[in-house]
Amino acid sequence: MQIFQKVEGIRSALHEAQLKGKKIGFVPTMGNLHQGHLELIKLAQKTNDIVVCSIFVNGLQFGLHEDWDQYPRTFEEDCKKLADVSCDMLFHPDENQMYPNGLDSQTRVICSSMTDYLCGASRPGHFEGVTTVVSKLLNIIKPHELVLGRKDYQQMAILYRMIEDLCFPVRIIEAEIHREVDGLAMSSRNVYLSALERQNASQLYKSLSWVAGKIRLGDRNFIALEKEAADQIKKAGFQPDYISICNSRTLEMATIDDCDIAVLGAMYSSAARLIDNISLH
Q: Which residues bind ligand PAF (CB under 6 A)?
A: 28-30, 58, 61, 130, 133-134, 152, 155
Q: Which is nearer to ligand PAF, 28 or 120 (CB)?
A: 28
Q: What is the number of alpha carbons within 13 Å of residue 238 lying toward its C-beta?
A: 32
| CB of 134 vs ligand PAF, minimal distance in Å | 6
Distance CA 176, CA 86 (A): 21
Q: Is 124 helix (H, G, I), strand (E, B) or coil?
A: coil
In the set 15, 37, 65, 92, the catalytic residue is 37
| CB of 233 vs ligand PAF, minimal distance in Å | 23
Q: Which is nearer to ligand PAF, 155 or 277 (CB)?
A: 155
The residue count of the chain comes to: 281
Of 132, 172, 176, the C-alpha closest to 156 is: 172
| CB of 218 vs ligand PAF, minimal distance in Å | 35
- Backbone φ and ψ for 25, nearest 5 degrees, come out as -110, 145
For residue 229, give every residue at least 6 positions away whose Cβ sits within 8 Å of its Cβ, in sequence order, or none: 207, 208, 210, 211, 240, 243, 265
Q: Which is nearer to ligand PAF, 155 or 269 (CB)?
A: 155
User: Is residue 37 flagged as an active site residue?
Assistant: yes
Q: Which is nearer to ligand PAF, 173 or 211 (CB)?
A: 173
Q: Is 275 helix (H, G, I), strand (E, B) or coil?
A: strand
Residue nearest to ligand PAF (CB): 28
| CB of 76 vs ligand PAF, minimal distance in Å | 19
Give the active site residues: 37
